[in-house]
Amino acid sequence: MKKFLIIICLFSQVFFLACINRELANVGGISIKESDVNYRIKNIDQNLIKNLGEDKMKEMILQGIIEESLVYLDLRDKGYEKDDKRKAEWVQNVRGLSVHYFLNTFLLEEYPVSKDDLKAEYQKNRASFKKDEKVKVAHILVRTGGEFLDDKSALGKINEISSKLKEDGSNFNDLATEYSDCPSGKDGGDLGFIGKGEMLPEFEAVVFTLKSGEVKRDPVKTKFGYHLVKVSEKEEIKYMEIDEVKDYLSNIINIRKLKDEYKTESYPEKLNNASDETVVGKTAKSGISYKYSDLLADINIFMGPVSLIKIKKDISLAKRVIDEMILARVMEDKMNELGMSKNRNYSDFIKLREKEFYINSFIKDHIGSQVKVDKNEIRKEVLSKGTEYRKKYGDSFVKDSGLKNEVDKVVAQDIENNKRSELFEVKYKAYLEELKKKYNITLK
């Protein structure tokens, strides 16, 4: 009887787990479950979820997983996963992903730092968590010099604009749109939030004395000309709370513990004239002998393209690079010691990333290679839309030849990027429609 009851209990648990992790869709035999959607929604910004609504967000995630599954079925059928070049790329990616997961997920979840240690580290680093005062600023600029007005005429014009300001400054943005020589004029003069040290000293000296909603009606003189200034919001000095920086503090503590445990050493002075076998670092624990050839391989994986000449010339930079690369080896040694490879969450993480890697690579090779943009067409479009760009970037687009050249470059790049995105979207959608005919999709 007791055995019978245990069997019923176990069956009930299995049935319950199956219910809470129900299948949402099936794509050509690939089952998409509620847990797949929930796993992804965890990594999405909460504000975005709040704005769209959780149900809508889950619907979008499910649709994305369905599309990924379609592409995966296609690449699998075409043997893309067996491509030696892609397999080698993935093997390299695993090292970087594993080290990142070890520090930012595994240690945080499996070996959390104590509250006392976090609090002590927070107090030690509190100054670095200071959020300086910021102000949201809008301005009206009348430029001087060169192709613009002389100083006297500019001062007269800015005073005339100032006289048109309403008592409460409510028409400031409209006047900026109509009169300002700054490209921000198209946005009502809005410069966004600025902190100290981000603008010209004479400009900052004024804006940080203004109250929220206050307008500086007397012109402010800078090397660009004369400004009228309005502050619409102020953010006072404050410090980030410990919960906001908990993971960052944990990482600092864990890295320090690893370095102390392994007693790492680095020899940046040996980089010049180093051969592949030259030892540029080592650890006491595990006896890691870090060679120059190891450094080159790790830089390629963890840092990407960097200038070795620049590293070798700067001894302090060389030390930082070697220290960080040895630390990666230390973390790999420690993750093996702690058995991270047997951790279910880690296995799920790597499986998902591997699938994403092949999907993204396949899409890039299969669709991205088909997207071609004619540079001559881009140039014609830039030249033909002068009026539109003047409206978008302000009259200074045509007044200042130097600025016009810069704007031309920005506009050309914008047009090219937009065209690439449009062409890619068209081809990708057509490709997905083909796959939907090829593979069966069942929504539950």
Tens digits of residue pLDDT in 19-65: 467 899 999 999 999 999 998 888 788 888 888 888 899 999 999 99
Q: Is 253 helix (H, G, I), strand (E, B) or coil?
A: helix
- Quick one: average pLDDT of 227-242? 92
Q: Does the pLDDT value for residue 9 go beyond 50?
A: no
Out of 66-75, 168-177, 189-198, 406-415, pick the least confident: 406-415
Alpha-carbon distance 325 to 276, whole Å?
16
Alpha-carbon distance 168 to 89, whole Å?
61
> pLDDT-based confidence at 12, cuts 50/70/90?
very low
pLDDT for position 420: 87
On average, the pLDDT of the chain sits at 88
pLDDT for position 17: 44
Out of 117-121, 363-367, 414-418, pick the least confident: 414-418
Out of 58-72, 177-191, 227-241, 372-386, pick the least confident: 372-386
The secondary element (H helix, E strand) that includes residue 26 is: strand 23-27
pLDDT for position 1: 46
- Quick one: average pLDDT of 312-325? 94
- Helices 34-41 and 54-77: angle between axes, nearest 10 degrees: 110
pLDDT for position 399: 55
Q: Does the pLDDT value for residue 351 go beyond 60?
A: yes
With beta carbons less than 8 A apart as the criterion, state whether 351 and 101 touch.
no
3-state helix, strand, coil in the chain (%, to 5): 65, 15, 20
Length of the chain: 444
Report the percentage of the chain scoring pLDDT > 70.
90
- Quick one: average pLDDT of 350-358? 94
Those residues with Cβ within 8 angstroms of residue 350's Cβ, 6 or more apart along the chain or in another chain = 94, 97, 98, 101
Better-predicted residue by pLDDT, 147 or 338 = 338
**Tokens, residue 7:** 């069997």
- Quick one: average pLDDT of 108-129? 95
Q: Does the pLDDT value for residue 329 go beyond 90?
A: yes
